Structure 1
């Protein structure tokens, strides 16, 4: 799979942009603020209908513009399809395939698949649990696009339930209008347990499937590491029942989640927030590390959390391993995702830069952004564009935007 053409209208800094692409490596080189990342961000947005840089669509639309359009010609198995998303501020976005409007914009999800490496990846290791939950959910959607609907349902249920908790909590302070909200809470508990169990089961199964890929990727990018050094563990917000981590039983998870919601309801009413569910979970990253001061961990083969124990270099190696593992997992079904390396080489030392470049060089399509040509490793030599002053110029050719 690769993108052969990208067209933008009022997306980020571009009023108009048209860029020809192809298999192999394409590098966009330019000083910060010139718009090189906007180009690859647009392709990534088509993949997941979300940006790796911002949490909402508003910043993606050029200031003062009524809408933005991202259009890409995607080649798969020798056939080309034109995918398009129309971003409409304050209204529903629209999706199109070959100019035909889709019933739901989320039907675009997964038709083009991307894996993005960026400087922000370090937050996967050092950031809040929400960063790691988003990593899992983004990968889930790419592996199984139908889960986009499950995630939307989960978010909708959480918002409705949070509103009910705040209203019902007032019942303890004598508000008669809260009684109806309190009686309705049972219904929404059931909704959250059902949809939450589905999401939990998918996340747990994904972590189980992803773990060996992470181990192999970490061994490839970290000096002297083995496949057994890196570990992943899913940490739920409540005690999970005894389940098969490869194919978790949704019924058991649903009942356990419902029981916990009942148990924690007094606390939730006091605080007016949802305290139980997938939105409170975390992905625990661990390594076979040494204790502070250089002592080995007490138990042979034991691991320590990466967050708080790993060095900066080890943290970067783990972040890279997560992205490489995602790429290997997605390509295991026979279809290479598009690799996007967004200003990541400037953040890496020489050894990790060389290792990462060698590992991704054989991908069907690699898109690289860099501030200076020297940041692009020689093994990733390919087509190069210069991005400056709102124009995208192919080296040795005319501006294309």
Structure 2
């Protein structure tokens, strides 16, 4: 998979930008603050409908503009697609495929797949569980785009259920503890458990597939095979010791957990169990048993683990014949020579890799290819 052209209109610092791209390596060079990351952020956003830098869409639109547009020509095997996303803060975004509008923006997912590694990815190790859940869910959608709808169904059920729990708590307090009709809540329990079981079963399968790749990548980068992932549901669940995940069993276990915790949930006005509360533990074993990387990893080990997770995602997609565009956003300057070399080997093998760097010397010499010098709102091709 690769891009041959990228067009930006009113995205971040760019009133307009047109970039011609080729297979292989493309390096965007320029001083910090001049817009290198804006370019690769746009590519990542087109692929995932999310930014690796901000949670809201408003900062993505150039100051003074009402909307932003990202447009790209995407090639995968013998298919070519013109993909377009219009970002409208405060309103629904719009997507087009080959200039034809799609019913829902998520229908445009899957045409472009990326794996992006950036300094912000240190939060995979040091950040909150939500960061690690997002990592899994974005990879799920990259593998199987229909999981975007599963996530949306789960989030809708969660929002409705939380609203009912808050209302029930207020009503119970107003009635001094009198019983409250829970019929509607029972209905949303079913919706939450149905979507939640589908999502959770897929996450468990994904972690099982990722684990050997993470261990291999970490062993290559750090010199020892001691990294592993451990998915921890927020409720009691038996995964069957390596056998395929039984989605119906997950559903029943989640329903049981919701029923058991209903009193506490009404008191707190929120759903306390489900995929939105699960944790992905990143573990290191220094020879005395696995320990959480978040608490025990050094700065270098944390970088190695974050890099290993992203490289594992890249290799998993590649093994499934989904060659993603690899994006390396200002990371070579953060790595020592050994880690630079390992990352460069993977990058050199990618069909297309986009790299940003403040100075060209930060990029290993083995990664030769086209170069753009990025100025404030401009891009000049060097070679």
Give the structure-1-normalised TM-score: 0.92
| Pair 1:304 & 2:291 matched | yes
Residue aligning to 1:326: 313
Aligned residues: 382
Question: What is the match of residue 15 of structure 1?
Answer: 15
| Equivalent of 1:233 in 230, 233, 240 | 230
Quote the residue 2:220 is aligned against.
Answer: 220
In structure 2, the residue matched to 1:279 is 276
- The answer for the alignment partner of 1:363 in structure 2 is 350
**Aligned residue for 2:285?**
288
- In the alignment, the residues of structure 2 paired with residue 306 and residue 114 of structure 1 have an alpha-carbon distance, to the nearest angstrom, of 26
Once residues 243 and 111 of structure 2 are traced to their aligned partners in structure 1, the CA distance between those partners, rounded to angstroms, is 26
Go from structure 1 to structure 2 and tell me whether the alpha carbon gap of 1:384 and 1:201 turns closer, same or farther (over 3 Å shift).
same
Task: Report the CA distance between 1:64 and its aligned residue.
Answer: 2.3
In 2, Cα distance between equivalents of 1:288 and 1:280: 25
Return 87-96 or 369-378, whichever deviates more: 87-96
* Aligned residues of 1:205 and 1:246 also touching (Cα < 8 A): no
Structure 1 residues 373, 270: closer, same or farther in 2, change over 3 A? same
Give the Å deviation of 1:175: 4.7
Structure 1, unaligned runs of 5 or more: 290-295, 397-401
Note if contact 1:164-1:181 (Cα within 8 Å) is conserved in structure 2. no
The SS at the match of 1:19 is strand
Aligned to 2:249: 252
Alpha-carbon distance change, 183 to 385 in structure 1, aligned in 2, over 3 angstroms: same
Shift >3 Å, 4+ stretches: 178-183, 242-246
Deviation (angstroms), 1:108: 1.2
Alignment of 1:176-187 (within 5 A): 182-187=182-187
Question: Which blocks of at least 5 consecutive residues in structure 2 are unaligned?
Answer: none
Q: Is the 8 A contact 1:208 1:246 kept in 2?
A: no
So what's the TM-score if we normalise by structure 2?
A: 0.96
Taking a change above 3 Å as real, the CA distance of residues 330 and 205 of structure 1, as seen in their structure-2 partners, is same
Note if 1:263 corresponds to 2:260.
Answer: yes
> Are 2:347 and 1:350 aligned?
no
CA distance in 1, matches of 2:297, 2:89: 42
Whole-angstrom CA distance in 1 between matches of 2:144 and 2:243: 16
Structure 1's 245 and 95: CA in aligned 2 closer, same or farther, altered over 3 A?
farther
CA–CA distance in structure 1, aligned partners of residues 204 and 280 of structure 2:
10
Structure 2 CA distance for partners of 1:49 and 1:179, relative to 1, 3 Å: farther
Q: Answer yes or no: is 1:373 the counterpart of 2:360.
A: yes
- What is the CA deviation profile of residues 177-197 of structure 1, one whole-angstrom value per residue up to 9, with x for unaligned ones? x97774311111111111111
Structure 1 residue 161 corresponds to structure 2 residue 161: yes
Q: How do 1:50-199 and structure 2 match up within 5 A?
A: 50-175=50-175, 182-199=182-199
Cα pair 1:34 1:390 within 8 Å, conserved: yes
Q: d(CA) in 1 for partners of 2:307 and 2:365?
A: 19
Label 1:315 to 1:101 Cα distance change in 2 as closer, same or farther (>3 A): same
Q: In 1, are the aligned partners of 2:172 and 2:180 still within 8 Å (CA)?
A: no
8 Å contact kept, 2:239–2:245: no
Matching residue of 2:379: 392
Map Cα deviations across residues 278-331 of structure 1 (whole Å, 9 max, x no partner): 000011111121xxxxxx51xxxx222211111111111111100000000000
Answer yes or no: is the 8 Å Cα contact 2:114–2:327 preserved in 1.
Answer: yes
Which residue in 2 is equivalent to 1:42?
42
Shift of 1:103: 1.7
